[in-house]
């Protein structure tokens, strides 16, 4: 016995593009969206007319017996030009679904798939929801924060004090320090001030390991996120062990034997220290940095 409900379920299973009132499509910004529409009779619509509209007004896509906006028909809203296509090989199955490429927030809304010449006429409504992604929008939204300014305020052989400044954000941003893996770092309380309707934020953090660190600025309200990176070199502490004691003994013995023997022994000792990582050499902010045991030596800038 024929059942409208069972027929509807069969269509939904066989044709994934089936649409019914209240259907919602959720996609991320900059991706493609497929809006489903399938007539209940499953008849061939190759020679028929179907029309897609947005919010009851904007012309999205119209197909009429082979003629459509991508092959000569005029009247398509400029918002959708070159971005909308149909599934030609599915028309024989009553499938009038369309694909919108590279969707934007402005594409969110209610779309209607209309078959005006069918008896009775059929209309399917589909809601498209475009979810914004956190990304750099400084070139498209005036309120978006500019790239932060970061620097090394102070440093020793054990740590570096990093500072991040956000200057002139139109909306108060969230500012945080992260390591190269994206882990949020503990930081001092942000200093926030407002001048002329713009926000200025300063936040400091102290790091104790060599690596890349970034200051991340986020404005959730406008889905804006921007960051800047800095590299910090730290002479990590080395615990004295038996190797160091032996090296010192060799130096005393070499001094007693004389200058000639001293040179040979010293070379051997230095080689041994380097091999056992007792000596660490780094380059940071235009300066050579040398760590011998737990000693930190800053050799100054490069020669001109």
Which residue positions in the chain have pLDDT lower than 50? 1-20, 238-248, 250-252, 254, 256, 265, 294-295, 297, 299, 302-304
CA-based torsion, 103, 107, 111, 116: positive or negative: negative
- Helical pair 242-257 and 259-275, crossing angle rounded to 10 deg: 170
Taking the C-alpha atoms of residue 108 and residue 225, their distance in angstroms, rounded to an integer, is 22
Judging by beta carbons within 10 Å of its beta carbon (0-12, 13-18, 19+), is residue 296 exposed, middle or buried? middle
Q: How far, in Å, CA of 154 to CA of 156, rounded?
A: 7
Ordered by where they begin, the domains of the chain are 4-131 (2.60.40.10), 149-232 (2.60.40.10), 242-301 (no CATH)
Tens of pLDDT, residues 3-28: 333 333 343 434 333 444 568 999 99
Between strands 84-86 and 98-100, the pairing is antiparallel
Alpha-carbon distances of 209 from 44, 155, 233, rounded to whole Å: 67, 12, 7
């Amino acid at each position: 016995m024929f059942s409208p409900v069972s027929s509807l379920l069969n269509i939904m299973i066989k044709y994934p593009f089936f649409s019914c009132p209240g259907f919602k499509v959720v996609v991320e910004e900059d991706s493609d969206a497929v809006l489903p529409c399938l007539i209940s009779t499953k008849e061939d619509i190759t020679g028929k007319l179907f029309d897609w509209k947005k919010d009851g007004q904007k012309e999205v896509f119209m197909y009429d017996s082979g003629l459509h906006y991508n092959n000569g028909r005029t009247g398509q809203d400029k918002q959708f030009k070159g971005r909308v296509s149909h599934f030609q090989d599915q028309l024989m199955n009553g499938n009038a679904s369309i694909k919108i490429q590279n969707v934007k927030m402005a594409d969110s809304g209610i779309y209607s798939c209309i078959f005006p010449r069918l008896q009775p006429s059929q209309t399917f409504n589909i809601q498209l929801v475009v979810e914004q992604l956190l990304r750099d929008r400084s070139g498209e939204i005036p309120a978006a924060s500019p790239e932060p300014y970061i620097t090394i305020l102070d440093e020793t052989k054990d740590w570096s004090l990093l500072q991040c400044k956000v200057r002139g954000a139109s909306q108060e941003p969230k500012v945080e320090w992260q390591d190269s893996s994206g882990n949020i770092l503990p930081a001092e309380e942000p200093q926030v001030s407002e001048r002329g309707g713009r926000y200025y934020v300063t936040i400091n953090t102290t790091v104790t390991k060599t690596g890349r660190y970034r200051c991340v600025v986020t404005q959730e309200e406008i889905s804006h996120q921007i960051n800047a990176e800095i590299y910090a070199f730290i002479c990590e502490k080395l615990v004295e062990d038996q190797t160091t004691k032996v090296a010192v003994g060799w130096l005393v013995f070499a001094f007693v034997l004389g200058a000639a023997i001293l040179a040979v022994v010293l070379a051997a000792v230095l080689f041994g220290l380097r091999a056992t990582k007792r000596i660490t050499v780094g380059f940071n902010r235009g300066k050579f940095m040398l760590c011998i045991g737990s000693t930190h030596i800053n050799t100054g800038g490069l020669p001109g």
